[in-house]
């Protein structure tokens, strides 16, 4: 991809079928007019208008995908090198699967290393790196009982210094995954009041603890079904609490490895407007790498799974467009509903639904362009066109 291609800002996009995020079916032959990084008109195409070879066009157009949880891509990993260059590589790697905006995810690290991640994301946003929406801190304020692949020695309680660091002014959405049962009294309310989106994850919280946290502003959960207390006959756990809630959002990894198809089906039907496809991707995505080292452990890619020597899943190797296809294949969801799980629902979870997640006048010109078989072909990020 050349610099010149990166700088192309088309004035119109022709969608042979448009999924606007509101209409439950695709709308045929639509023109989306763009100006200043915003959508200024959405209208039926005039006869022959879509035949212009100079116009950006696609078989399927939808609101730009938003990935709330991505650890790495394009051969780069946020934790390994929290730099603006890393974030640019990750955003470009994510675009290969149709993702317009990412929350680069920094997982548990010793002491207060996450502060470097916050500073780097701030710099990337303010310098205009395309696709960097905000940042996701997945830990270190997690449960030592549910570390997953996180280094157990990095997991620790939240302190007043942490709260001060996270509630400082930040130029984009900040998502923090925590174990609610280990939070100091009053900390959840403080984070929420500062505009931070708080998810529960890597936690053994009871359903009652989640219900109480929900009343204090808990917004959702990270990678539903994974690294959390499960539903049993007499204790619904985090899984049951989320499925029974009418407010909580949930990220879910639809790579056919993290979550059984039956559980994808259940979640899709109980949380149609609150389920968010996430990749949880690592540096192997959109690269030729097939292994890397994490916390002294060799992580290998085999059969689409990333695992350590003991078989513990270590993130995922899946793009957003593949996640979309998997969700449809496993659940039978209509295309429009599945697309919303990649765009509208994540925007809602972040409170950004007034500018992202829909294709309508006044919204940011972030679009995902796909083939008829739902493979990413191009992405627009705030009007900037990226071919794949």
Tell me the catalytic residues.
280
* CA dist 286 → 53, 126, 212 (Å): 29, 26, 40
Alpha-helix residue ranges (DSSP H) falling in the chain: 3-6, 84-95, 114-126, 160-166, 187-193, 207-215, 237-244, 261-270, 320-331, 335-342, 344-349
Q: How far apart are CA 27 and CA 24, in angstroms?
A: 9
Q: How many CB atoms lie within 10 A of CB 87?
A: 25
Specify the 3-state DSSP secondary structure of 99.
Answer: strand
At which residue do the structure tokens 């990412």 appear? 102
**Contact assessment for residue 1 and residue 8, using Cβ atoms and an 8 Å cutoff:** no
- Choose among 372, 259, 374: nearest CA to 325: 374
CB-count exposure of residue 208 (10 Å: 0-12, 13-18, 19+): exposed
Looking only at the bridges linking them, the beta strands covering 174-178 and 297-302 are unpaired
Judge contact between 292 and 283, C-beta under 8 A: yes
- In this structure, the strands spanning 297-302 and 305-307 are antiparallel
- Between strands 305-307 and 367-370, the pairing is unpaired
> What is the strand order of the sheet 99-107 is part of?
65-70, 99-107, 135-138, 174-178, 197-200, 220-221, 249-253, 275-278
What number of H helices and E strands is found in the chain?
11, 20
């Amino acid at each position: 991809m050349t610099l010149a291609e990166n700088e192309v800002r088309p004035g119109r996009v022709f969608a042979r079928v448009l999924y606007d995020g509101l209409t439950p079916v695709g709308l045929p032959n639509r023109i989306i007019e763009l100006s200043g990084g915003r959508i200024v008109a959405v209208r039926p195409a005039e006869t022959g208008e879509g035949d212009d070879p100079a116009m950006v066009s696609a078989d399927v157009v939808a609101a730009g995908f938003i990935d709330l949880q991505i650890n790495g891509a394009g051969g780069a990993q946020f934790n390994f090198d929290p730099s603006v260059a890393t974030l640019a590589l990750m955003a470009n790697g994510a675009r290969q699967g149709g993702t317009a905006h990412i929350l680069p995810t920094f997982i548990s690290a010793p002491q207060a290393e996450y502060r470097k991640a916050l500073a780097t994301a701030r710099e990337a946003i303010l310098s205009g790196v395309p696709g960097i929406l905000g940042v996701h801190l997945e830990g270190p304020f997690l449960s030592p009982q549910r570390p997953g692949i996180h280094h157990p020695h990095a997991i620790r309680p939240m302190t007043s210094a942490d709260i001060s660091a996270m509630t400082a002014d930040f130029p984009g959405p900040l998502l923090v995954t925590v174990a609610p049962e280990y939070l100091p009294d009053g900390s959840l309310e403080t984070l929420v009041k500062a505009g931070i989106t708080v998810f529960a994850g890597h936690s053994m919280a009871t359903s009652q603890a989640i219900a109480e946290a929900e009343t204090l502003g808990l917004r959702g959960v990270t990678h539903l079904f994974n690294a959390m207390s499960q539903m049993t006959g007499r204790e619904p756990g985090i899984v049951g609490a989320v499925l029974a809630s009418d407010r909580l959002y949930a990220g879910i990894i639809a790579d056919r490895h993290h979550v059984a198809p039956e559980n994808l089906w259940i979640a899709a039907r109980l949380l149609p407007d609150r389920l968010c496809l996430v990749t949880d991707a690592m540096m192997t995505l959109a690269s030729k790498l097939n292994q890397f080292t994490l916390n002294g452990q060799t992580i290998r890619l085999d059969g689409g799974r990333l695992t350590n020597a003991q078989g513990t899943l270590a993130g995922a190797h899946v793009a957003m467009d593949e996640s979309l296809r998997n969700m449809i294949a496993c659940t039978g969801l209509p295309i429009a509903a599945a697309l919303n799980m990649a765009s509208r629902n994540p925007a809602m979870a972040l409170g950004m639904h007034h500018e992202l997640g829909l294709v309508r006048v006044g919204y940011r010109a972030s679009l995902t362009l796909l083939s008829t078989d739902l493979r990413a072909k191009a992405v627009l990020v705030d009007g900037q066109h990226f071919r794949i």
